[in-house]
């Protein structure tokens, strides 16, 4: 039987649009900016699609997002994912990491899977806790910082190369398991034109909190355990120095500069 992989994909403000805006509560105004799939999630999706290409796999996208999340998901479907599940509920506006973990875990309980793939972190929240949180709640083995994913469907195990400060650790766990990926998994593919056409007819199932048997009052923004107490803009970038010349000249100039600052 083909491997069943669920890839967590979060819609985040499109970095290229540079239109992010904070609401009065200090949280992101999600209507202000066009959304795209979180960059790191595209790397784990790519890993899932490579497995689908090489050994056959059913790839399901799972998002918790406003209703427009369906459109954001189309790109993942155009890249080659087979279907999508979107958990959306007005009560979820302002949900924090804790709620996100609970809700996604509840959604995963309704799905059948061998692997759940999560991105390293998101470009908007930058929490990096959701994957580990879900693994904890669902009592799944957690394989983090994955640079390579090698499932063995017959043995029912998965092997992961985890990057470490000194190189790689090779981890193995029984499936189902949750894997947190890194960008070393490989550059995400561009959707093909055929993929874009096919995405139109792929199924995206929408679920509310009630559909998941969850109490809206216990999970949404109202129940958030973290509060944004203040926000500040990062300081403006200092003057930049542009190095020109041949690659050799450029490399030497940069090395000299770093050395003069005692950085190398």
Partner 1 sequence: MDFDLSTEHALLRSTIRDFMESEVAPVVEEHEREHRFPVEVVRRLGEMGWLGIPIPEDEGGAGMDTLSYAIAIEEIGRVWGSLGLIVAAHTSLGCGPLHLAGTKEQKDRYLIPMASGKVIGAYGLTEPGAGSDAGGTRTTARLESDTNGAGGEWVIDGSKRFITNAGQAGTYIITARTGTKEGGGAEISAFILPADTPGFRVVRIEDKLGLHASATGELAFDRCRVPAENLLGERGDGFRTFLKILDGGRISIAALALGLAQAAYDAAVPYAQTREQFGKPIGSFQGVAFMIADMATEIEAARALVWKSAWLKDQGRDYSLVAAQAKLFASEVSSRVTNAAIQVHGGYGYVTEYPVERFLRDAKLTEIGEGTSQVQRLVIARKILGLRIG
Contacting residues for 19 by C-beta, under 8 A, at least 6 apart:
13, 32, 33, 34
Residue 199 touches partner 1, criterion: CB under 8 A: yes
Residue 200 touches partner 1, criterion: CB under 8 A: yes
Structure tokens at 263: 């950085």
Of 36 and 135, CB closest to partner 1: 36
Of 14 and 172, CB closest to partner 1: 14
Q: Output the CA–CA distances (angstroms, integers) from residue 39 to 89, 123, 202, 222, 247, in the order listed.
A: 24, 7, 22, 28, 29
Q: 157-182 burial by CB neighbour count: b if 16+ within 10 A, else e?
A: ebbbbbeeeeeeeebebebbbbbbbb
What are the beta bridge partners of residue 142?
Answer: 178
**Total of residues contacting partner 1 (CB under 8 A):** 14
Of 194 and 225, CB closest to partner 1: 194
Q: How far is residue 125's CA from residue 171's CA, in Å, rounded to a whole number?
A: 28
Cα 33 to the center of its chain, rounded Å: 18
CB-CB contact of 209 with 216 (8 Å): yes
Residue 191 touches partner 1, criterion: CB under 8 A: yes
Return the residue of 25, 53, 71, 215 that touches partner 1, per CB under 8 A: 71
Structure tokens at 210: 């009630």
Residue 194 touches partner 1, criterion: CB under 8 A: yes
Of 35 and 179, CB closest to partner 1: 35
- Give, as ranges, the residues between 72 and 101 that touch partner 1 (CB under 8 A): 74-75, 78
Structure tokens at 191: 């959707």
Q: What is the CA radius of gyration of the chain?
A: 20
- Give, as ranges, the residues between 33 and 52 that touch partner 1 (CB under 8 A): 36
CB of 119 to partner 1, least distance (A): 18
Residue 57 touches partner 1, criterion: CB under 8 A: no
CB of 230 to partner 1, least distance (A): 29
Residue 192 touches partner 1, criterion: CB under 8 A: yes
Residue 152 touches partner 1, criterion: CB under 8 A: no
CB of 196 to partner 1, least distance (A): 5
Structure tokens at 74: 């189309």
Residues near partner 1 (CB under 8 A): 36, 71, 74-75, 78, 190-194, 196-197, 199-200
């Amino acid at each position: 039987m083909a491997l069943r992989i669920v890839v967590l994909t979060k819609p985040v403000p499109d970095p290229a649009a540079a239109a992010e805006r904070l609401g009065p509560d200090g949280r992101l105004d999600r209507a202000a900016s066009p959304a795209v799939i979180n960059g790191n999630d595209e790397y784990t999706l790519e890993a899932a699609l490579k497995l689908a290409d090489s050994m056959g796999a059913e790839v399901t996208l799972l998002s918790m997002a406003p209703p427009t999340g369906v459109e954001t998901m189309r790109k993942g479907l155009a890249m080659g994912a087979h279907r999508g599940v979107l958990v959306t509920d007005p009560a979820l506006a302002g949900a924090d990491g804790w709620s996100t973990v609970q809700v996604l875990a509840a959604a995963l309980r309704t799905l059948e899977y061998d692997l759940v793939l999560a991105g390293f972190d998101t470009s908007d929240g930058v929490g990096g806790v959701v994957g580990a949180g879900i693994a904890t709640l669902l009592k799944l083995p957690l394989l983090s910082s994955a640079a390579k994913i090698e499932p063995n469907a017959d043995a029912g195990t998965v092997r992961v190369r985890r990057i470490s400060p000194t190189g790689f650790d090779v981890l193995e766990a029984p499936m189902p398991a949750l894997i947190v990926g890194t960008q070393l998994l490989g550059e995400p593919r561009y959707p093909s034109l055929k993929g874009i056409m096919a995405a139109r007819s792929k199924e995206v199932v929408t679920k509310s909190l009630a559909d998941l048997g969850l109490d809206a009052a216990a999970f949404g923004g109202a129940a958030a355990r973290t509060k944004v107490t203040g926000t500040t803009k990062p300081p403006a970038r200092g003057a930049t120095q542009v190095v020109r010349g041949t690659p050799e000249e450029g490399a030497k100039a940069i090395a000299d500069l770093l050395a003069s600052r005692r950085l190398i």
